Amino acid sequence: QDQLQQKIICPGPVTCLTASPNGLYILAGVAESIYLWEVSNGNLLAILNRHYQDLTCLCFTDDSSHFLSGAKDCLALVWNLYSVLQAEPSQIPDPRHVWSRHSLPITDLCCGFGGPLARAATASLDQTAKLWEISSGELLLSVLFDVGIMAVTLDLSEYHMFCGGMDGSIFQVDLCAWPVQRDRTFQTERENGKVFKGHRNQVTCLSVSTDGSLLLSGSHDETVRLWDIQSKQCLKTMNHKGPVTNAFIVLAPANMFNPDGKPSVPLPKFSKHLHGTESNDEQGSEGVTLRLGLHQQESGESYLEKAEKMYAQMYSTREKNLVGDQEHLTIQVSELEEEVSTLRKINKNLFDFSARIITKPAK
């Protein structure tokens, strides 16, 4: 019998839900708040309140280091997971980027590969789909359609972006098309062979197979369709008894075909209160909680803060014009050369000291 392993009651209706690729964390959108749980012990680690209206979508980067949130307030936020985990319960962590270029509610998010260097796509009712760079937060591409966009996804090579419209059409946008334009208009009548037609109602979800040959789509017309991307032909239609809200292609786990296969570790009961604020009676005695960098907060920067600064320097250096920023680079190079010189002196002193100890004649 197929039964739920654990029934988890949330503080309100859940509008979106996602799990980190490494399996350690769960994100849920409840009204305007983002709830972050740790899967292993069920602790509620953070409640993020930076959106002004209900959440509509959540997604993680492939390395689980960042997550993105979209809402009806037209904002898409990029969060650094480790900054969120490091923050004290009394603090409200700031998102790494706030994308406010959409003029109507965000309907879907999709993140490519590359961790902090990945690109992310956003879809909105304002009839646009936009492509962003997570590292710098810059807008790379904005495509205007004839209808509101309800779903967006990228293929594995990030050569195409697929957008599902409110009228049931699915549009294929070539990301490597020439000439390169930041603002583009997708004109359906001119884009021959780049539209999938078959759904009779709005497309709610899209997913591309790992080899980039198949596209899966779900719709409010109560069907899920499997498409051949090359020919734009529908290969299979699966009927449901209600509107399809989510569907995606995933690699089957090894124990899926084992009739006796059971999860080795059962899911714990997810907490309703922030970790550290529960009463002693409710807190379990087992388990270890590891929070990075807190021991260093009183005495300077933590390791994570230094890493953030290093990333910021790396991205700013990559994005800036090196010719116009020559003076800044010269100062930075001189500081690094001075640090290298100091390290060489320390290394030489250690070598001399070790050599004296080793070659000292025995008494």
In a domain, 362, yes or no: no
In a domain, 340, yes or no: yes
E strand or H helix at 318: helix 303-319
Instruction: Report how many domains make up the chain.
Output: 2
| CATH number where 65 lies | 2.130.10.10
> For 157-167, what is each residue's pLDDT tens digit?
999 999 999 99
pLDDT band at 306 (very low <50, low <70, confident <90, very high): low
247 with 327, same domain: the answer is no
- Closest by Cα among 163, 257, 254 to 204: 163
Lowest average pLDDT, out of 54-68, 100-114, 330-344, goes to: 330-344
Residues 228 and 216 sit within 8 Å (Cβ to Cβ):
no
pLDDT band at 300 (very low <50, low <70, confident <90, very high): low
CB atoms within 10 A of CB 26: 21
Rounded Cα gap, residues 363 and 361, in angstroms: 6
Tokens 């008494």, residue located: 363
In a domain, 299, yes or no: no
Which structure tokens are listed for 183? Answer: 């603002």
In a domain, 9, yes or no: no
pLDDT band at 181 (very low <50, low <70, confident <90, very high): confident
Q: Which residue range is the domain that position 344 belongs to?
A: 308-356
Residues 47 and 34 sit within 8 Å (Cβ to Cβ):
yes
Predicted TM-score (pTM) of the model is 0.74
64 with 134, same domain: the answer is yes
Which of 214, 240, 257 represents a domain boundary (last residue)? 257
Residue 170 clears pLDDT 90, i.e. is over it: yes
24 with 94, same domain: the answer is yes
Residues 169 and 222 sit within 8 Å (Cβ to Cβ):
no
Question: How much is the average pLDDT of 86-109?
Answer: 90
Question: How much is the average pLDDT of 141-148?
Answer: 94
Q: What is the pLDDT of residue 235?
A: 95
Q: What is the pLDDT of residue 164?
A: 96
Residue-level length of the chain: 363
Residue 282 clears pLDDT 70, i.e. is over it: no
- How far, in Å, are 26, 35, 208 from residue 160 at the CA level? 29, 32, 10
Sheet with 66-71, strands from edge to edge, namely: 55-60, 66-71, 76-80, 97-99
Please provide the distance, in angstroms rounded to a whole number, between the alpha carbons at the two ends of the chain.
Answer: 81
Q: Which residue has the higher pLDDT, 360 or 12?
A: 12
In a domain, 315, yes or no: yes
Tokens 């309703």, residue located: 272
Instruction: Please give the backbone phi and psi of residue 9, each rounded to the nearest 5 degrees, phi first.
Output: -90, 125
